Amino acid sequence: MKNKVNRSGFTPQENLISILPSTLVGISMLFATIASALLNFPPEDPNHKIVIIICGIVGILHLAFYYFIFTVAFNKSRYVWINAIIAALTLSTLTYFIPQEVSSLLYILVFISALPASLLSNRGPAYFLIFSVTSFHFLAHLNIQQPSYQWITHFGFTITAFIGIETVQQLKSISAQHINRLEIINEFSKQIVSTLDTKRVFSLLTNAFQGALEADSYYVGIIEGDQLRLELFYDDGEFIQNAQVNKKGTLSNWVSTHQQALFLPDLRQRIELDDVEIITIGNDTPTLSWMGVPMHSAHVDGVMAISSYRPNAFDRSDLELLSNIAQRAALALDNTYHHAIVQKQARLDSLTEVFTHGYFIQTLREQAETCKAQNQPLSLIMLDIDYFKQYNDTFGHLIGDEVLISLCDVIRRHIKNTDAVGRWGGEEFCVALPNTDAQQALQVARRIRETMSTLKVRNAEQMTIPIPTVSQGIATFPVETEDITKLIDTADKRLYMAKERGRDQIESAPALP
């Protein structure tokens, strides 16, 4: 079972460990105070002895009970204040009776009591305890003539106690910040390894940046040739989309080239780096602090960087945190890119690199739904290479494969990026043309036929071989049918009508020439 971290920055077990030494030392000091007071008081002051004994016993029992309570109590902050009040009353009472010769023991007890209060809570209980006891001690001895060095000593003890409490609070703050960063990294790691979505990775990166680092700007750049494409770019409160810069001369290029982290706490000072020129990306506000780390994996080559408009905004721990984030992000992005490649290969025909039969049907249905919602037509062209079996038998399957590849290249040349091409089977292909009516589809089909008639391939002996003709059938959605299965069947029937008319023909809707 994991220990739960509380707001003090320590686990319950760590809290007990932190107060145990103070408890043992406090009990020992109370015994010493009682013994010292008894030895120094004259016999005619028995009441003083009784008060000191009672206060010492109460203090010892209280410390023992205090430690026991913290092993079982749920709401410990409440008991911190109770302890501070009881300790303040007990030690304040001792200020009236404890001999001046051992008054330094009183301040040691104050510090020992305030220290665990500061560890387990905030400044409040510890300051209350120190202020209460020192105030009572001052009032109790205000009318008593004391050497100046004793007042100076008491004042020094008080200042030391306050400094000790502040030191504890600062250490707690640093510890809490460190724990918070570790939790962010841990949560980031758990979430990022379970996603194969690139957009999700960048979303998690945004959360990690904003939760763990205080930066005015940050970006994740992927290197593509001479360019740095900023997949994630945040600057001065806004996200900037589709940013791309020439990497030459940039700090990111230096990081990528040397595969080393770069820490520049104050850019007002001159930078001694080879082939680096400071340029501004995003807003015109000058960057005064910058650090970047490389991101490298099998499919990823990039840079992760953060910056600030203030000098010395980051330290080495921030750089280490950024490096940890970058390492995990590079692996996650590598997984998403590899997954995308595998998915792409799974939906593409291995020879022609057009969509497979199944994926084309899926794409066709999605495009049809979009066109229907937008009240736009969609045309479908079915193509088949004429006499392809005889062609293969005559020139061989390698030449036949080259013909299939050439046909798909021609088709892609005459359609838009939003269109889709699929291999229906063997030498038969289909083309989905969203936002395209029957007349426009006919023009596309004619361009494909004309281009195919001009192509030639060469065999192993470098002899020129003509490419066979193609027959095509066209159907349009939703003018002719709103059913995708019927749309495919209509285009397929028209394809065979084109073959029956002598091949190298295009069969479209009856209303078209």
Please give the chain's pLDDT, 513 residues, in tens: 333 444 444 454 445 555 666 667 667 766 766 676 566 554 445 666 676 677 777 777 766 766 666 665 555 566 777 777 877 787 777 676 666 666 666 777 777 777 777 777 778 888 888 888 888 877 777 766 666 767 777 778 788 888 888 888 888 777 777 777 777 777 777 887 778 788 888 888 888 888 778 889 999 999 988 899 998 999 888 898 888 888 888 899 999 999 999 999 998 888 778 777 766 666 667 889 999 999 988 888 999 999 999 999 998 888 988 998 898 888 888 888 888 778 878 899 989 999 999 999 999 999 999 999 999 999 999 999 999 999 999 999 999 999 999 999 999 999 999 999 999 999 999 999 999 999 999 999 999 999 998 988 888 788 888 889 999 999 999 999 999 999 999 999 999 999 999 999 999 987 655
> Please, are residues 366 and 431 in contact by the beta-carbon 8 Å criterion?
no
Closest CA to 492 of 437, 439, 424, 446: 424
> Please, are residues 305 and 292 in contact by the beta-carbon 8 Å criterion?
yes
Give residue 383's pLDDT: 96
Q: Which fold has domain 357-507?
A: Alpha-Beta Plaits (3.30.70)
Rg (CA), the chain: 40
Q: Is 295 helix (H, G, I), strand (E, B) or coil?
A: strand
Q: Which fold has domain 199-343?
A: Beta-Lactamase (3.30.450)
Indicate where the chain has its CATH 3.30.450.40 domain(s). Answer: 199-343
For 85, residues 6+ apart whose C-beta sits below 8 A from its C-beta are: 128
Helix extents (H) in 268-396? 316-347, 357-373, 388-395
Indicate where the chain has its CATH 3.30.70.270 domain(s). Answer: 357-507
Tokens 């269109």 sit at which residue?
419
Give residue 2's pLDDT: 38
Give residue 8's pLDDT: 46
Ramachandran class of 353: left when φ > 0, alpha when ψ lies in -120 to 50, beta otherwise: left
Please give the backbone phi and psi of residue 502, each rounded to the nearest 5 degrees, phi first: 120, 5
Give residue 182's pLDDT: 76
371 vs 365: CA distance, rounded Å: 10
36 vs 44: CA distance, rounded Å: 16
> Please, are residues 92 and 131 in contact by the beta-carbon 8 Å criterion?
no
